[in-house]
Amino acid sequence: MFNSIEILILIAVVSIISYFSYKVYTRVSIDRVIKNYNFYSAILQYNMDKAYETIYKDNILIYSVEATRIPDVDFNTYTRDFILLVQKLLGPRLMNEFIFLYGNYDTFTFNVADYFNRKYEEDEIRKDSMENLMESELEVTPQDIKWPLLMKY
């Protein structure tokens, strides 16, 4: 029937065709993603905004109103929760597209975590609360302080 040389040649030809088909498919996919980058960016931005609002309302708002710093352990937990929520909102197909776009999973999650950090740093409620706290501390004058020894009974 077939001798071993013919089988090896057949395997080599199929392997070469498969390799070049994969390269062409990858190149077409890269071109498609690059051409539609604005579309992908808008989808990711929308889902990250939605996830941030959820995490912010559930976990961070109380710290912002009180103008206190989030403990590092809690902040790391909220960042991890944010990344997982973004992944759930995107779904498995879009996740694969974004992993393909960013090159690997770690780069994608790094960019999502960076977005979360920047949004937290730009927190307007926290900034306003800090300013109000500072202003209220500055409004106290020495005349406003009454020492117990100086008070008349």
Amino acid at residue number 35: K
- Rounded to an integer, the average pLDDT of 15-30 is 75
What is the C-alpha to C-alpha distance for residues 82 and 109, in angstroms, rounded to an integer? 10
pLDDT at 21: 76
Which pLDDT band holds residue 133 (cuts at 50, 70, 90)? low
pLDDT in tens, 65-84: 777 788 889 999 999 999 99
Whole-angstrom CA distances from 106 to 22, 34, 38, 78 are: 23, 20, 22, 18
User: Taking the CA atoms of the chain, what radius of gyration do you get in angstroms?
Assistant: 28
> What is the model's pLDDT at position 121?
83
Contact 129, 65 (CB under 8 A): yes
What six digits make up the tokens of 116?
């979360």
DSSP class of 144: G
Q: Which residue has the tokens 């990344």?
A: 83
